[in-house]
Amino acid sequence: MKHLVAPSLLAANFLRLEEEIGTVNQSQADLFHVDVMDGDFVPNISFGFSIIRQISSVAEKPLDVHLMISKPERYLKEFKASGADWLSVHYETCPHLHRTIQQIRDLEMKPGVVINPHNNVELLTGIIPEVDYVLLMSVNPGYGGQQFIPSTYERIRTLAEMKKQLNPALLIEVDGGVTEHNAKALTEAGADILVAGSSVFKAMDPSEAISRLKNPS
Ligand code: DX5
Ligand code: ZN
C-alpha cells in the first residue's frame, strides 16, 4: 500500500481556514489531521467541537482527530457528532483503554492509540489487535514546528515487526517534525501515514509540499 499523507491543520492560517482546507481538498493528501489540546494533558490549548464541525462541513477527505486531552472518554460522542472519522486517544490518558477503543468503534469511527516518545511500543501489545492504527509521536505533543526525534525510526521498525504477528492490517502513523527530508526514511522504516503541519502550511506552495511528502525521493 502506498503511504497516506495527513496535513495537520494546527499549522494552517486560521484566518483563511476555508481556503487552506480547499488547498488540501485539491491536493494529493489523504486525510485531514486535527489536533485537539486541552491545556491539561499537554501545555497548550488548540480548538474544540465548533471549529471541528466547521472544518468537516468543507473537508472532502476524512478527519483524523488526534485527542491530546485528559479523560477523552468523556467526549467520544461529541467528536463523532462534530465529524470525526478517525479518532485517536493517548495511551497515557486512558486507564481503561480497551473499553475506550471499543466505544470509539461502536460509534463507527476508526479507533487509534497514540504513544509519547518516551514510551516503548511493546506497551501496546495488548491493544494492537483492537485498533486500526497506532500513532507514534515523533515529538513531545503540544506544539507544531518541533524537531523530529530520531529514535522514532527504531520505534517504527519494532512496531512494524509486532504488527505482522498481532494485526497485519494495522496502520502506523507518525506525527511531529515530518518533512520531505525524512519522509522516505520513515516510509522505508514502516510508516503508513505521515502527519505534517509546518512542512505543509508554512511552505510557499502547500500543495506541492504535499506531493513531495506523497512521492518522497
Ligand atoms: C503536535 C501535534 C502535531 C503537530 C505536528 O502535538 O500532534 O500533529 O501539528 O506539527 P509539525 O508537523 O509542525 O511538527
Ligand atoms: Zn497530531
Among the atoms of ligand 1, which is closest to the Cα of residue 44?
A: 6
How confident is the model over 115-126, as pLDDT tens digits? 999 999 999 999
How confident is the model over 45-100, as pLDDT tens digits? 999 999 999 999 999 999 999 999 999 999 999 999 999 999 999 999 999 999 99
Contact of 8 with 175, CB cutoff 8 Å: yes
In degrees, rounded to 5, the angle at the alpha carbon of residue 152 between the alpha carbons of residues 126 and 103 is 35
Among the atoms of ligand 1, which is closest to the Cα of residue 177?
A: 14
- What CATH class does 4-214 carry? alpha beta
Radius of gyration of the chain (CA): 16
- Which residues have their alpha-adjacent CB atom under 5 A from ion ligand 2? 35, 66, 175
The residues that bridge with 37 in the sheet, in sequence order, are: 68
CA of 168 to the centre of ligand 2 (A): 23
Distance of CA 116 to the CA centre of its chain: 12
Contact of 83 with 52, CB cutoff 8 Å: yes
List, by residue number, the catalytic residues.
35, 175
What's the pLDDT score for residue 187?
98
In one-letter notation, the amino acid at residue 136 is: L
Task: Establish whether residue 175 lines the binding site of ligand 1, counting it when its CB lies within 6 angstroms of any ligand atom.
Answer: yes
Task: Establish whether residue 11 lines the binding site of ligand 1, counting it when its CB lies within 6 angstroms of any ligand atom.
Answer: yes
Distance separating alpha carbons of residues 5 and 179, to the nearest angstrom: 11
CA of 81 to the centre of ligand 1 (A): 24
Distance separating alpha carbons of residues 161 and 32, to the nearest angstrom: 27
Classify residue 69 as left (phi > 0), alpha (psi -120 to 50) or beta.
beta
Split at pLDDT 50, 70, 90, the class of 1 is confident
Residue with cell 506531493: 211
